Amino acid sequence: MSLLKEPDLGTPARPGPATVSLEVDGLPVTVPEGTSVMRAAALSGIDVPKLCATDSLEAFGSCRLCLVEIDGRRGTPASCTTPVAEGMRVSTQTPKLEKLRQGVMELYISDHPLDCLTCPANGDCELQDMSGIVGLRQVRYGYEGANHLDEKKDTSNPYFDFDASKCISCSRCVRACGEVQGTFALTIEGRGFESKVSAGGTDFMSSECVSCGACVQACPTSTLQEKSVIQLGMPTRSVITTCAYCGVGCSFKAELRGAELVRMVPYKDGGANEGHSCVKGRFAFGYATHPDRVLTPMVRERITDEWRPVDWDTAIAFTAAKLRDIQSRHGVGAIGGITSSRTTNEEVYVVQKMIRAAFGNNNVDTCARVCHSPTGYGLKQTFGTSAGTQDFRSVAKSDVIMVIGANPTDGHPVFASRMKRRLREGAKLIVVDPRRIDLVRSPHIEARHHLQLAPGTNVAVVNAMAHVVLTEGLVDRSFVDERCEDFDDWAAFIALPENSPEAVEEHTGVPAEEVRAAARLFATGGNGAIYYGLGVTEHSQGSTMVMGMANLAMATGNIGREGVGVNPLRGQNNVQGSCDMGSFPHELPGYRHVSDDVVRGVFENMWGSTLQAEPGLRIPNMFDAAIDGSFRALYVQGEDIAQSDPNIKHVHAALTALELVVVQDLFLNETAKFAHVFLPGTSFLEKDGTFTNAERRINRVRPVMAPKTGKHEWQIVAEIAQAMGYPMHYDRPSQIMDEIAALTPTFAGVSFDKLDKLGSVQWPCNDNAPEGTPIMHTDGFVRGKGRFVPTPYVPTRERSTRKYPLILTTGRILSQYNVGAQTRRTANVAWHPEDVLEIHPHDAEVRGISDGDEVVLTSRVGATTLRAVLADRMPVGVVYTTFHHPVTGANVVTTENSDWATNCPEYKVTAVQVGLKSPAMAG
């Protein structure tokens, strides 16, 4: 489509049943109570001139362009700040208003560069538009008066410039930074004519700015402008698509000139983000066209050989022949594959279909294994389905928000902004985390309780909270009686004295009284919502903890309506979707066990193939079986297991043992070093399909450009299956979704047509819920009754010892993403050029470590070197690092310990020692 300009109604919507009817310029209009006159006018098709108003921000009333006249009222009120009233008669165009508006524009233009024709915002400038609309014909003040034309340009941010000479002081950027993003990095400095936008008195890059782009988005002029637009010019067409970074799944307008992507602009109608963005989605898309991209298939006999570029037919034939050969020699079960949480649902679906139907086994797993597999297990056991219960919007109705083992401001920034908005409105916050994450105390937000627990003691803490709820009589009995089962057994267990806050204090390090207070707040503070991340799942009791949270939510009646729920914050863009699509070795699409004859029969019928009724190998089992010799070939789609999986030495040994490793990826990643076939993949800009975000929202991913590799990833997979003798063919990805819908009851109502019509839907989407399901378990639980499961705390085997006295925990930061394959190939490296080890000053001092020193981090399985940063965000005894850079190799030190139920690795707890890098080791 041509460049999409979304309508701007000036002020935000006011939800509510009550309506008010009025007349604007004689046109009748009925709007919700509390709506501004400006918005009412816009809804009736009349755009009142405006500059400081935009519908993502609360009305401000500063530009004075939107003045109107209202019958029976004095003066000329601003339509943005005046709420509608019943029977109001508004005039938006009168000679008096015309004169006032021209007067305002005359003032603006008397202090503005007259370089419209060469301005980067030419054609996309509201100031320019308004000059035209009000009919400004002269500036009687002249241009020689006081002005800001010599203001300096701040070009410090890698993605956008701040040209103060063009600033009209509307404060939209400042307000966006506060209201939308919640960072409050910007302010107005000085007063009167000297009022200036300021990044806290410094340049943007040195400021607290997180480069989310909200200010750029809000700026009505060219003052805050993308560097890409300055360099390339205004885009001419838009494609609405979905970000491929985290599990928030923001909708964007990809804006292009011809085939060149100029900028990504957050889409206001995007269900997940509603017009907001973060530094990654908004700006860090350069990796998609990075010269490191491999665009031609490559093969080699041995991993010590040079890569040999080949054409697609050769690569596909080579792969298929090798796979069949291995199966003929070592059995049907000797090969398997890993689906990617980065690719589309359709691409995942065809990979698992290839494995189940063409490979003829269930050796399929996904990278969710190493992140949210415990979510799948725990929520299925308790609620009956493996998904978060809420939509993101729900948080706006929460009264108590409990964040456990998640760092949303870095990991899920766009959702974090929603959460922060609600917290600023007065919702109370409980943070359960060994680290003092930013949310604990940030502008206008302070956690009521920060349960700073020892890593690995989540279950003890959640049990203690449940113990308080139960023993202090705070259980929501009517909810439990009506909606749940197995409560009595659970209650008997949780009431045991060993689960009391006092009893577990010794393990958890959290003062009992703090746990009690937090539990009381959660149980009695109104709508209580739990949001959690990998700090919950990546533990030896990850699955137990998920169930523990589900128990707590059920016991307090916090399931099944807006504002409550148990919500995983998913790491990857399509981790939800890859799980939904049958990527686990024991489950067919839609979370149905392979042993279910009826379900299997449906698939066998549709796929024309016999399917195995036994579960296949999980990723860690694949590695073990590779070393044992029973597993010989692995197909890896879009996951860098050689960098991201724990205990790297073991992974490398397994990969080396394999006869065939097929890697399908954008870049020659670490895993490709062990590969025999490299199949170049497509970036999200080339993909055509769907991603499913953490709120079960199925979003369309639309191709912005043709595949740079010449082939879609689903085509590659289908052709390999074909070459292996299994007929698989699709003309277009919508056919794949149609097949998914036909086979999967929760997706029965999903089609590309419907997604194009509605924008997105949240599964379950079927005849019962044709437009999807924002909140789950509203009437009954998916499994009928919510099930309480006792969750005994079993300490991890990984403990600090004399040799390894510190506990390492890992996480990520805002500007980088996962193993950094994408973000390291963008200007985001300006914020995080290397992984560092955060260490408490006390732990550093006793080791003679100073800020910035190179240190060696050692665990019982490996060692790595990185730079130390002194920080008191962790308690004494805990160190922290990120895993964004392969050179650091944080997973060199992580161990093979894993969640008992799902084998999700225990990334979050590793006993380590830290020491100064000695001169002898410096070579």
Question: Of 2, 44, 51, 50, which is closest to residue 21 (Cα–Cα)?
Answer: 44
Q: What is the spatial distance between Cα 272 and Cα 662, in angstroms, rounded to a whole number?
A: 34
Which one of 14-22, 193-201, 314-322, 382-390 is the stretch in contact with other proteins (CB under 8 A)? 193-201
Is residue 104 involved in binding other proteins (CB under 8 A)?
Answer: yes
Cα 61 from chain centroid (whole Å) = 34
Task: Provide the minimum distance between the beta carbon of 593 and other proteins in the complex, in angstroms, as a whole number.
Answer: 7
String marking each residue 493-532 x if it binds other proteins according to CB under 8 A: x---------------------------------------
Phi, psi of 639 (to 5 degrees): -150, 135
Q: In the numeric block, which tokens belong to residue 249?
A: 């799944």
Smaller CB distance to other proteins: residue 59 or 685? Answer: 59
Do the beta carbons of residue 872 and residue 841 sit within 8 Å?
A: yes
389, 527, 540, 699: residue in contact with other proteins (rule CB under 8 A): 540
Is residue 71 involved in binding other proteins (CB under 8 A)?
Answer: no
Which one of 19-27, 87-95, 153-161, 615-623 is the stretch in contact with other proteins (CB under 8 A)? 615-623
Task: Provide the minimum distance between the beta carbon of 467 and other proteins in the complex, in angstroms, as a whole number.
Answer: 14
Smaller CB distance to other proteins: residue 153 or 593? Answer: 593
Phi, psi of 22 (to 5 degrees): -150, 175
Strands 69-70 and 89-91: antiparallel
Q: What is the spatial distance between Cα 591 and Cα 605, in angstroms, rounded to a whole number?
A: 18
Q: What is the spatial distance between Cα 110 and Cα 140, in angstroms, rounded to a whole number?
A: 8
Is residue 778 involved in binding other proteins (CB under 8 A)?
Answer: no
Beta bridge partners of 337: 364, 635
Smaller CB distance to other proteins: residue 145 or 919? Answer: 145
Question: Of 728, 489, 514, which is closest to residue 607 (Cα–Cα)?
Answer: 728
Run of H or E residues at 624: helix 619-628
Q: What is the spatial distance between Cα 32 and Cα 11, in angstroms, rounded to a whole number?
A: 13
Is residue 99 involved in binding other proteins (CB under 8 A)?
Answer: yes
Smaller CB distance to other proteins: residue 103 or 805? Answer: 103
Smaller CB distance to other proteins: residue 443 or 915? Answer: 443
59, 550, 566, 642: residue in contact with other proteins (rule CB under 8 A): 59
111, 161, 645, 843: residue in contact with other proteins (rule CB under 8 A): 111
618, 652, 824, 832: residue in contact with other proteins (rule CB under 8 A): 618
Q: Under rule CB under 8 A, which residues in 358-387 are in contact with other proteins?
A: 362-363
Q: Under rule CB under 8 A, which residues in 307-336 are in contact with other proteins?
A: 333
Distances (CA, A) of 844 to 800, 812, 840, 870, 897: 17, 22, 6, 7, 27
How many beta carbons lie within 10 A of that of residue 96, not counting itself? 12
Q: Under rule CB under 8 A, which residues in 136-155 are in contact with other proteins?
A: 140-141, 145-146
Is residue 110 involved in binding other proteins (CB under 8 A)?
Answer: yes
Q: What is the spatial distance between Cα 613 and Cα 600, in angstroms, rounded to a whole number?
A: 8
Can you tell me whether residue 373 is helix, strand or coil? Answer: helix
Task: Provide the minimum distance between the beta carbon of 617 and other proteins in the complex, in angstroms, as a whole number.
Answer: 5
Smaller CB distance to other proteins: residue 64 or 785? Answer: 64
Smaller CB distance to other proteins: residue 25 or 896? Answer: 896
Is residue 100 involved in binding other proteins (CB under 8 A)?
Answer: yes
Smaller CB distance to other proteins: residue 96 or 649? Answer: 96
Which one of 70-78, 261-269, 698-706, 853-861 is the stretch in contact with other proteins (CB under 8 A)? 70-78
Task: Provide the minimum distance between the beta carbon of 375 and other proteins in the complex, in angstroms, as a whole number.
Answer: 15
Can you tell me whether residue 198 is helix, strand or coil? Answer: strand
Is residue 630 involved in binding other proteins (CB under 8 A)?
Answer: yes
Q: What are the start-end ranges of the H helices in 744-858?
A: 752-758, 841-846
Q: What is the spatial distance between Cα 870 and Cα 125, in angstroms, rounded to a whole number?
A: 46
Do the beta carbons of residue 82 and residue 48 sit within 8 Å?
A: no
Q: What is the spatial distance between Cα 14 and Cα 84, in angstroms, rounded to a whole number?
A: 11
266, 542, 585, 905: residue in contact with other proteins (rule CB under 8 A): 585
Is residue 201 involved in binding other proteins (CB under 8 A)?
Answer: no
String marking each residue 78-97 x if it binds other proteins according to CB under 8 A: x-xxxx------------x-
Task: Provide the minimum distance between the beta carbon of 107 and other proteins in the complex, in angstroms, as a whole number.
Answer: 4
Task: Provide the minimum distance between the beta carbon of 570 and other proteins in the complex, in angstroms, as a whole number.
Answer: 21
Smaller CB distance to other proteins: residue 459 or 748? Answer: 459
Count of residues touching other proteins (by CB under 8 A): 65
Smaller CB distance to other proteins: residue 657 or 856? Answer: 657
61, 200, 233, 877: residue in contact with other proteins (rule CB under 8 A): 61
Is residue 75 involved in binding other proteins (CB under 8 A)?
Answer: yes
Do the beta carbons of residue 530 and residue 553 sit within 8 Å?
A: yes
Task: Provide the minimum distance between the beta carbon of 141 and other proteins in the complex, in angstroms, as a whole number.
Answer: 5
Task: Provide the minimum distance between the beta carbon of 585 and other proteins in the complex, in angstroms, as a whole number.
Answer: 7
Cα 494 from chain centroid (whole Å) = 34
Which one of 2-10, 104-112, 284-292, 816-824 is the stretch in contact with other proteins (CB under 8 A)? 104-112
Q: What is the spatial distance between Cα 775 and Cα 390, in angstroms, rounded to a whole number?
A: 5
Q: Under rule CB under 8 A, which residues in 782-801 are in contact with other proteins?
A: 790, 792, 794
Smaller CB distance to other proteins: residue 112 or 711? Answer: 112
DSSP 683-705: -TTT--EEEE-TT-EEEEE--SS
Expressed in angstroms, the distance from the first to the final Cα of the chain is: 57
44, 54, 62, 221: residue in contact with other proteins (rule CB under 8 A): 62
Is residue 63 involved in binding other proteins (CB under 8 A)?
Answer: yes
Strands 335-339 and 364-366: parallel
Q: Under rule CB under 8 A, which residues in 163-192 are in contact with other proteins?
A: 168-169, 171, 187-188, 190-192
Do the beta carbons of residue 401 and residue 840 sit within 8 Å?
A: no
Is residue 627 involved in binding other proteins (CB under 8 A)?
Answer: no
Smaller CB distance to other proteins: residue 816 or 897? Answer: 897
Q: Under rule CB under 8 A, which residues in 555-584 are in contact with other proteins?
A: none
Token pair 């379950």 is found at 764
Q: Which residues contact 456 (CB under 8 A, 6 or more apart)?
A: 539, 540, 795, 796, 798, 807, 906, 908, 909
Task: Provide the minimum distance between the beta carbon of 334 and other proteins in the complex, in angstroms, as a whole number.
Answer: 10
Q: Is the dihedral of CA 828, 833, 839, 841 positive or negative?
A: negative
Residues in the chain: 923
Question: Of 151, 155, 157, 211, which is closest to residue 183 (Cα–Cα)?
Answer: 211
Q: Which residues contact 917 (CB under 8 A, 6 or more apart)?
A: 853, 854, 855, 856, 865
Q: Which residues contact 313 (CB under 8 A, 6 or more apart)?
A: none
Q: Which residues bind other proteins (CB under 8 A)?
A: 59-64, 67, 75-76, 78, 80-83, 96, 99-100, 103-104, 107-108, 110-111, 140-141, 145-146, 168-169, 171, 187-188, 190-195, 333, 362-363, 493, 540-541, 544, 585-586, 593, 595, 614-618, 621, 625, 630, 790, 792, 794, 898, 900-903
